[in-house]
Structure 1
């Protein structure tokens, strides 16, 4: 699926840009995609893609933080308790698996990602079909 390939490209490790710019480009792509394909793609499909995109973005944050100490510090700054932050920070799981853990989901919640500028396909679908 070309959609997922493009999102993978926009969240790749070797792009070397800030997360703010990365989220801007992802949101730009998502807006264009939903406006073009929103009529044919079903609501449930958009919800599933949203879930996958948010997990991919959480993984990008996790990879960007790199070192365990930085991960713990950033998780605590985003409101995770110290014990949970340390458990997440020192895990030997890979970034994709880690992106589904409760500590990371609490820190990088849907509301936080939205406040950082991540566009939701679900919102675009609703706007397209109920206007």
Structure 2
């Protein structure tokens, strides 16, 4: 995934229009949270992983037992708390916004 993001940013980095970059970055992160929820198919697995990632047991149980779709659940506070922005960064996901800022405002 990070290679695709890096390649996309390499192609479009010359653009001065940055308004859509943070929204696209948010959408990518939400889709990643959605994929994690989808990967944890069974409610027991969902509950166990959310608690392991620091979510309160009551909130984790509500998410695990919910019949709502993965994409909708990926926007809940409990899932955002568990799979915050640092979690995909540890897995190697690169932020579009960070790449754009690094290119346009070198230190």
1:109 aligns with 2:75: no
Over the aligned positions, Cα root-mean-square deviation in angstroms equals: 0.9
Alpha-carbon shift at residue 124 of structure 1 (Å): 0.5
* 3-state SS, counterpart of residue 19 of structure 2: helix
- CA distance in 2 between counterparts of 1:38 and 1:84 reads 40
Asked if structure 2 preserves the Cα contact closer than 8 Å seen for 1:35 and 1:128, the reply is no
* Structure 1 residues 66-117: Cα deviation after superposition (integer angstroms, max 9, x where no partner): 0000000000000001001001111010011010011110000011111111
Aligned to 1:34: 9
Choose between structure 1 and 2: higher helix proportion. 1
User: Cα gap change, 1:105/1:58 in structure 2, threshold over 3 Å: closer, same or farther?
Assistant: same
Asked if structure 2 preserves the Cα contact closer than 8 Å seen for 1:27 and 1:118, the reply is yes
The structure 1 segments of at least 4 consecutive aligned residues displaced by more than 4 Å after TM superposition are none
Asked if structure 2 preserves the Cα contact closer than 8 Å seen for 1:35 and 1:124, the reply is no
* 3-state SS, counterpart of residue 83 of structure 1: helix
How many residue pairs match? The answer is 106
Alpha-carbon shift at residue 38 of structure 1 (Å): 1.5
- CA distance in 2 between counterparts of 1:41 and 1:115 reads 29
Aligned to 1:89: 64
Q: Which runs of 5+ in 1 are unaligned?
A: 1-25
Alpha-carbon shift at residue 121 of structure 1 (Å): 0.1
